Amino acid sequence: MGGDDGVSLMIPCPHCQQRPAAEFHYGGPVRERPEPDAASDEWVAYTYDQPNRRAVQWEWWFHRAACREWFLVRRDTRTNQVLESSLPGQPGTSDVVTGEAEGAEGAEGADE
């Protein structure tokens, strides 16, 4: 009680504002998809091998408890700090969704 609900991570949904992380489903880091005719091993790696970077990265999140929308979150995995959120297709996110911006910021020293 006393206003402390024990929430450690708040996610800023572009539709619903700040909400507790328990309302969301983590969809993984933004990564470039293999071509549709890529070899099976590329698709298996894309589907099951999730990078575990210590860096700032863009991630997919789904707001399952309210608006039921997928959106992008830029988060520092070293501190768990959420830096921003955005809907796909908004100005400044086109390179994120295609995977071109993946790991561009904070990738240095990711294995330190």
The strand pairing partners of 20, in sequence order, are 10
| CATH number of the domain to which 76 belongs | 3.30.2270.10
* pLDDT of 110: 39
What whole-number distance in Å separates Cα of residue 112 and Cα of residue 109? 5
Instruction: Tell me how many domains the chain contains.
Output: 1
Residue 77: inside a domain? yes
Q: How many CA atoms lie less than 13 Å away from 26 in the CB half-sphere?
A: 14
Residue 20: inside a domain? yes
- In terms of residue numbers, what domain contains 72? 10-97
pLDDT tens sequence across 49-96: 888 889 999 999 999 999 999 999 999 999 999 999 999 988 767 667
Residue 2: inside a domain? no
Grade residue 102 by pLDDT with cuts at 50, 70 and 90: very low
Token readout for 101 is 């911006």
3-class SS at 108? coil
Residue 104: inside a domain? no
Phi then psi for residue 48, to 5 deg, are -110, -25
Closest to 49 (Cα-Cα) out of 75, 70, 26, 31: 31
pLDDT tens sequence across 2-58: 445 555 789 999 999 999 999 999 999 998 899 999 999 999 999 888 888 899 999
